[in-house]
C-alpha cells in the first residue's frame, strides 16, 4: 500500500533534520573533553572544610597551589654527583619551555616568589631525592587550543628529567598534579574508543536479535543522533559554567544514551513487527505500534530523567553535574527513538527487516528468538507455581544481599585508582619507600593566632603526623591574616590513602577540643570531605529517587499495589547486586576499595533503569489484563515481551560493560554493578519475581484502580480466551 504523500514528506524532513543535528552535535561531543574537571577539589561544595581552608590560603599567598612532585632514586644509594645533578635540575626547571606556549616558561606556572629556587631534598636513607614544584592551580586548570595546560606542564617537566634518567636514576612525576595529569590522560581520546566499543557490541547483539543487516544500523544511527543532540546541549550548558563535566560523566553519557536509545528502539520495533503481521498498511502498523509503546517508553524516559535530576540535590559537584548531563542524554535518546527511528521505519517499510520480512498472518514462527529462550515455558512455570516461585527468588535475593556489609566503598587511594601502570602511582610508591609518604602534600590547618601554639602541641602528639610547623615557610615568622595563622604537618601515610584520611579525621576531632574555629584542609582533607559528602548525598538523593519513581509508576499503572511491590523488588535487587559485587570485588578482582560515590551511582542507574523492564512488562500486563484477567494477562505479557525485554537488558548490560575500556577502578566497579544488576532485574526480577507475585495476589495487583474492581474475567470469557495464557502462541517480539 502506497504511503500518503504528507507522511512520506514528513518522514524525509525528519530524517534530514536529524542528520543536521548529528552533524552539529557530533562536534560538540568531541569538544566536551576540553571542559572536563577531574580533580577532587573542583567537586567539593563551597562550605566543605577543606574548601574553606583553600579559600583562606589565598589571603596568605597570591595563588592556590597544586603540588607536582619529582622523585628520583638509585639502588644502593645516591652518588655525590647525583645530588649536584638534582640541585641543577631543580634550579634550571623553572626556565624550561618544552611544549609550553611560545614566550612562557615553567616559572609562569610555579607559585614561588621571583628569585626563589626550587630545592632538591634528599631522603634520610640517602637513596632518593624529591623536588616539590608548587604549581599555580588556576593557571594549570585551563586549556590552550583545547590542550590542557597541566598536561603541557607535566610533559615539559618530563622532558627536563631526561638527564636524571640518563645518569641511571629512576625518576617519576607524582603528587596531586601527577595524579590529575594521569587521570586526564586516562580519559583523553577514550570517548571515541568507548563509543565505538559500545556501538560494536550493540551491533552484534542486534544482528543476532533481528537477523537483518539493515535494521541494526537504523537503531545504531538513532542512538548516535540522540547522543549528538544531547552533546550539543551539554556542551553549551557546561561551557556556561552551569554544570561540572568530568571524564567519568562524559563516558557515562555516551554509554547511557546508546543503551537507552537501543532499549526504546527494541520496544518500538518489536511492537511494529507485531502489527505488520496484522495490517497491510505499514503506516497503519506503525501508528498502532507507536501509540502502544509511547506510554511505556515515555514513562521509562521520565523515570530515568527525573531520577537523574534528583542528583542535583547532591553536594558533590561531580555527582550533581552528572544528573543534568545524563538527563539530557536520556532526553536525546528519547527524542531520537520516537521521531527519527519511526521516520526510518516509514521509509524502509517492511523491507527494513530484510531478509526476515514480516507479512500479514505469518506470525506462527516469527518469534523464534523468544521461543528458543523458552519464554512460554517460563510463563507456564510461573503460572503453575506462583507463590513458590516468588518466595524462592526473594530468599535468594536476601541471601545475596546479606553480603552487602562486605562492600568496601569508603574511599580508595589515588594510587589504586588505575587498572594499568602509570608514573604517578610508581612515583608515589617510590616516595613512600624513601620519605614520609605524605611528603609534598601537607595537612594545612587554619587556626586563630591565640590557639596556634596549643594546636601545634596537639599535632606533635598525633600518631601518623610528623614535622608540624606554624607558617607556610619553615623557620620564617608566621604570617597573620584576619587573626589567623596557617599550620602545616606531613602525614606519614600516603596523602591519598584511606589511612591518611582516617588520620585527618582524628586530627580534626582533636583540634576541635582546642578551638572550634580551627579548620583542617589539604589534599587528604579533600578526600575526607568527599567521603562525608558522598554519605550525605546518598541519604538525601536515594529517598527522592524512590519517591519520584513510585509516583511515575502510580500514574502509569493507575494503581498503588503494583508500583509498591515493583519498588520493593527493585530495591531488593539492588541490595542483592551490591552483595554479589562485594564478593566479586573482594575475592575475584581483588580491588582494595572503592569510591564512596559508587553506591549512589549504582543506585540511580539500577533503580531508574532497572525499573524500565518492569514498566515494559507491567504496561503490557495491564493491557492484556483488561481483556483476559490478571492471571492470564500477566502470563501473556511475560510470554510476549520476554524476548524483547531480555534483548534490551543484554544491550544495556553490554553497553555499561564497555566502560571497562577506561582503566579506572571506579568505572570498572560501576560497569560491573550496573551490568550485573540489569541482568538480575531482566532475567530474575522481571521474569520470575514480579509476574509470580502479581499472579499470586491476582486482581489486588491493580488496587485501587477500576481494573481491581473488575478483573476482566467477564471480558476474558466473552473473548473465548485460551485455557491458559502461556499456551497462546507467542506474538513476534524480535
Which backbone phi and psi does 442 adopt, to 5 degrees?
-70, 160
The predicted structure's pLDDT at residue 188: 62
What integer pLDDT is reported at residue 292 of this predicted model? Answer: 86
C-alpha cell at 596: 564512596
H-only helix segments in 32-174: 49-60, 80-92, 137-140, 149-160, 162-166
- Residue 413 near residue 496, CB atoms below 8 Å: yes
Could you report the per-residue pLDDT of 227-255, keeping only the tens digit for each?
Answer: 999 888 888 888 887 777 776 777 788 88
- For domain 61-179, which CATH number applies: 3.30.420, 3.30.190, 3.30.450, 3.30.70? 3.30.70
Q: What is the DSSP string of 663-715?
A: -BHHHHHHHHHHHHHHHHIIIIIIIIIHHHHHHHHGGGGGTTSHHHHS-SHHH
pLDDT of res. 189: 54
The confidence band for 547, taking pLDDT boundaries of 50, 70 and 90, is very high
**Contact partners, residue 47, CB within 8 Å, separation at least 6:** none
The DSSP code for 733 is -
- Determine the Cα–Cα distance for residues 688 and 682; give it in Å rounded to an integer: 9
Q: Cβ distance 367 to 730 under 8 Å?
A: yes
- What local confidence, expressed as pLDDT, does residue 245 receive? 76
What residues contact 100, with CB distance under 8 A and at least 6 apart?
106, 108, 109, 152, 153, 156
Residue with cell 546508546: 258
Give the pLDDT score at 722: 47
- Mean pLDDT on 151-177: 89
- pLDDT surpasses 50 at 732: no
Q: Tell me: the pLDDT tens digits for 326-357?
A: 899 999 999 999 999 999 988 888 888 888 77
355 prior amide bond cis, ω within 30 = yes
What's residue 180's pLDDT?
83
Do domains 1-35+189-365 and 431-528 share one topology? The answer is: no
Q: Which of 537-546, 605-614, 656-665 holds the top average pLDDT?
A: 537-546
- Residue 194 cell numbers, joined: 568507548
Q: Where are the alpha helices (DSSP H) in 188-281?
A: 190-210, 215-239, 247-276
User: What is the mean predicted confidence (pLDDT) over 550-571?
Assistant: 90
Whether the CB-CB separation of 622 and 702 falls below 8 Å is answered with: yes
- Distance between CA atoms of residues 68 and 425, nearest Å: 13
Q: Which set of grid coordinates corresponds to residue 368?
A: 523464534
Cβ-in-10-Å burial (0-12, 13-18, 19+) of 223 comes to: buried
pLDDT beyond 60 at 129 = yes
Strand partners of residue 443: 489
- Confidence bin at 577 (pLDDT 50/70/90): very high
pLDDT at 143: 66
Least confident of 379-393, 404-418, 526-540, 616-630: 404-418
pLDDT digits (tens, 9 = 90+) for 253-294: 888 888 889 888 888 988 888 888 888 888 888 889 899 889
Distance between first and last Cα of the chain: 24
Could you tell me what percent of the chain has a pLDDT over 70?
Answer: 89
- State the average pLDDT over residues 314-323: 84
User: CB burial class (10 A; 0-12, 13-18, 19+) of residue 113?
Assistant: exposed
Q: Under CATH, what is the fold of the domain 431-528?
A: Alpha-Beta Plaits (3.30.70)
Q: What is the pLDDT of residues 454-490, one digit of tens each?
A: 999 999 888 888 888 888 766 667 888 888 999 999 8
116: pLDDT strictly greater than 90? no
Q: What is the mean pLDDT of residues 84-95?
A: 90
Mean per-residue pLDDT, 355-365: 66
Q: Is the pLDDT of residue 140 over 50?
A: yes
| Second CATH level (architecture) for the domain 1-35+189-365 | Up-down Bundle (1.20)
The predicted pLDDT at position 724 comes to 47
As a whole number, mean pLDDT of residues 547-563 equals: 89
Q: How many residues does the chain have?
A: 734
Distance CA 675, CA 652 (A): 7
Distance CA(662)–CA(666), nearest Å, equals 10
Tell me if 323 sits within 8 A of 314, measured CB to CB: yes
Q: Which of 30-44, 71-85, 297-311, 697-711 has the lowest mean pLDDT?
A: 30-44
Helices (H), ranges, 36-79: 49-60
Using a 10 angstrom Cβ sphere, with 0-12 exposed, 13-18 middle and 19 or more buried, the burial of residue 76 is exposed
pLDDT value, residue 365? 44
For the segment 701-720, the average pLDDT, to the nearest whole number, is: 63
Query: What residue segments make up the domains of the chain, in order of their start?
Result: 1-35+189-365, 61-179, 431-528, 558-734
Three-state secondary structure readout of 549-568: HHHHHHHHHCCCHHHHHHHH
**Residue 222 pLDDT > 60, yes or no?**
yes
In a 3-state reduction of DSSP, which class is residue 299?
A: helix
pLDDT at 729 over 50: no
Q: Is 304 helix (H, G, I), strand (E, B) or coil?
A: helix
Mind listing the pLDDT tens digit for each residue in 364-414? 444 444 444 577 788 888 888 899 999 999 999 999 999 999 988 777 777
- Angle between helical axes of 452-461 and 498-512 (0-180°, round to 10): 140
Query: Does the structure show a pLDDT above 80 at 688?
Result: yes
Pairs from 212-217 (Cβ < 8 Å, separation ≥ 24): 212/352, 212/353, 212/354, 212/355, 212/356, 213/354, 214/348, 214/351, 214/352, 214/353, 214/354, 215/269, 215/348, 215/352, 215/353
Amino acid at each position: 500500500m502506497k504511503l500518503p504523500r504528507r507522511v512520506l514528506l514528513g518522514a524525509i524532513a525528519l530524517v534530514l533534520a536529524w542528520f543536521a543535528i548529528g552533524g552539529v552535535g557530533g562536534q560538540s561531543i568531541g569538544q566536551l573533553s576540553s571542559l572536563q574537571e577531574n580533580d577532587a577539589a573542583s567537586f567539593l561544595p563551597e562550605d566543605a572544610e577543606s574548601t574553606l581552608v583553600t579559600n583562606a590560603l589565598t589571603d596568605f599567598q597570591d595563588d592556590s597551589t597544586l603540588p607536582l612532585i619529582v622523585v628520583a632514586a638509585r639502588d644502593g644509594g645516591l652518588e655525590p654527583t647525583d645530588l649536584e645533578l638534582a640541585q641543577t635540575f631543580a634550579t634550571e626547571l623553572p626556565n624550561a619551555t618544552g611544549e609550553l606556549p611560545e614566550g612562557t616558561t615553567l616559572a609562569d606556572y610555579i607559585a614561588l616568589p621571583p628569585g626563589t629556587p626550587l630545592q632538591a631534598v634528599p631522603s634520610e636513607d640517602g637513596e632518593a631525592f624529591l623536588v616539590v614544584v608548587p604549581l599555580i592551580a588556576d593557571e594549570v586548570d585551563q586549556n590552550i587550543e583545547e590542550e590542557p595546560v597541566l598536561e603541557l606542564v607535566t610533559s615539559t617537566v618530563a622532558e627536563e628529567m631526561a638527564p636524571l634518567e640518563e645518569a641511571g636514576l629512576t625518576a617519576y612525576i607524582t603528587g596531586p598534579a601527577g595524579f590529575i595529569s594521569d587521570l586526564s590522560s586516562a580519559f583523553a581520546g577514550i570517548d571515541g574508543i568507548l563509543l565505538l566499543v559500545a556501538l560494536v557490541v550493540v551491533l552484534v547483539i542486534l544482528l543476532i536479535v533481528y537477523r537483518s543487516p539493515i535494521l541494526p544500523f537504523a537503531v545504531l544511527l538513532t542512538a548516535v543522533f540522540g547522543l549528538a543532540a544531547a552533546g550539543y546541549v551539554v556542551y553549551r550548558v557546561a561551557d556556561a559554567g552551569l554544570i561540572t563535566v568530568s571524564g567519568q560523566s562524559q563516558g557515562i553519557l555516551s554509554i547511557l544514551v546508546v543503551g537507552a536509545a537501543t532499549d526504546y528502539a527494541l520496544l518500538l520495533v518489536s511492537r511494529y513487527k507485531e502489527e505488520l503481521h496484522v495490517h497491510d498498511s505499514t503506516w497503519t502498523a506503525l501508528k498502532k505500534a507507536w501509540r502502544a509503546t509511547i506510554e511505556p517508553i515515555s514513562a521509562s524516559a521520565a523515570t530515568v530523567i527525573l531520577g537523574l535530576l534528583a542528583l542535583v540535590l547532591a553536594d558533590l559537584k561531580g555527582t550533581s553535574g552528572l544528573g543534568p548531563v545524563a538527563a539530557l542524554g536520556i532526553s536525546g535518546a528519547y527524542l531520537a527513538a520516537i521521531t527519527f527511528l519511526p521516520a526510518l521505519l516509514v521509509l524502509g517499510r517492511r523491507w527494513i527487516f530484510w531478509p526476515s520480512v514480516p507479512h500479514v498472518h505469518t506470525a506462527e514462527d516469527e518469534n523464534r528468538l523468544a521461543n528458543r529462550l523458552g519464554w512460554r515455558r517460563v510463563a507456564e512455570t510461573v503460572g503453575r507455581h506462583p507463590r513458590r516461585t516468588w518466595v524462592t527468588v526473594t530468599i535468594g535475593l536476601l541471601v545475596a544481599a546479606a553480603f552487602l556489609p562486605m562492600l568496601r566503598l569508603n574511599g580508595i587511594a589515588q594510587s589504586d585508582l588505575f587498572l594499568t601502570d602509570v608514573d604517578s602511582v610508581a612515583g608515589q610508591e617510590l616516595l613512600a619507600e624513601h620519605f614520609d609518604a605524605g611528603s609534598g602534600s601537607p595537612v594545612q590547618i587554619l587556626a586563630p593566632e591565640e590557639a596556634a601554639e596549643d594546636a601545634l602541641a596537639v599535632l606533635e602528639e598525633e600518631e601518623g603526623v610528623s614535622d608540624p610547623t606554624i607558617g607556610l615557610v619553615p623557620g620564617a615568622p608566621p604570617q597573620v591574616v584576619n587573626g589567623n595563622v596557617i599550620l602545616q604537618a606531613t602525614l606519614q601515610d600516603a596523602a591519598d590513602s584511606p589511612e591518611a584520611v582516617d588520620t585527618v579525621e582524628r586530627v580534626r576531632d582533636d583540634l576541635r577540643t582546642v578551638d572550634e574555629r580551627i579548620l583542617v584542609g589539604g589534599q587528604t582533607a579533600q578526600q575526607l570531605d568527599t567521603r562525608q559528602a558522598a554519605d550525605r548525598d546518598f541519604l538525601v538523593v536515594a529517598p527522592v529517587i524512590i519517591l519520584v519513581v513510585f509516583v511515575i509508576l502510580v500514574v502509569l499503572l493507575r494503581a498503588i499495589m503494583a508500583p509498591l511491590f515493583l519498588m520493593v523488588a527493585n530495591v531488593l535487587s539492588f541490595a542483592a547486586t551490591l552483595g554479589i559485587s562485594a564478593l566479586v570485588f573482594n575475592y575475584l578482582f581483588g580491588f582494595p576499595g572503592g569510591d564512596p560515590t559508587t553506591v549512589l551511582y549504582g543506585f540511580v542507574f539500577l533503580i531508574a533503569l532497572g525499573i524500565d523492564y518492569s514498566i515494559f512488562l507491567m504496561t503490557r500486563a495491564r493491557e492484556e489484563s483488561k481483556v483476559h484477567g490478571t492471571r492470564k494477562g500477566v502470563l501473556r505479557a511475560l510470554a510476549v515481551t520476554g524476548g524483547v525485554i531480555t534483548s534490551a537488558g543484554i544491550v544495556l548490560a553490554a553497553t555499561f560493560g564497555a566502560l571497562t575500556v577506561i582503566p579506572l577502578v571506579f568505572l570498572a566497579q560501576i560497569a560491573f554493578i550496573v551490568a550485573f544488576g540489569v541482568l538480575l532485574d531482566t532475567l530474575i526480577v522481571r521474569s520470575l519475581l514480579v509476574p509470580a507475585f502479581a499472579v499470586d495476589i491476582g486482581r489486588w495487583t491493580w488496587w485501587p484502580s477500576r481494573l481491581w474492581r473488575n478483573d476482566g474475567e467477564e471480558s476474558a470469557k466473552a473473548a473465548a480466551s485460551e485455557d491458559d495464557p502461556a499456551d497462546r502462541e507467542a506474538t513476534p517480539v524480535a
